[in-house]
Structure 1
Amino acid sequence: MKVLHSFPVEKAKRLGVQPDGMMRLDVPYRKKSLMENVSNLIKLDTLNRRMLLRILLKP
């Protein structure tokens, strides 16, 4: 990972590397998507609040 992040941005651009189109590092976008998915699971009774808390608080 260290090698990947030490690669010069300008050189990557010259080689045609594109920005992250999947927004992998866009935390607000990912959080919104996660919250929507969790909400849908709760509505479908696939995941209840107690299960969710147990998952989130698991060491």
Structure 2
Amino acid sequence: MRNFREYDVWIDSMNMVDAIYTMVDNFPSEEKYSLSSQITRSAVSIPSNIAERTER
């Protein structure tokens, strides 16, 4: 079984998730629960899909 945590693409995508969460924290309060939710969910799905695919 492969360890997805060793892949550069997974590491880069996790760094991107951290950067996006930092960026979303600076959004105006009226965007906190609409646009920011969509952005963070889509960002988290990238490393999640990489991890899921390496398990198959």
Q: Normalising to structure 2: TM-score of the pair? A: 0.36
Greater helix proportion: 2
Q: Which structure has more RCO (C-alpha within 8 Å, separation ≥ 6)?
A: 2
Q: Normalising to structure 1: TM-score of the pair? A: 0.35
Instruction: Select the structure of larger CA radius of gyration.
Output: 1
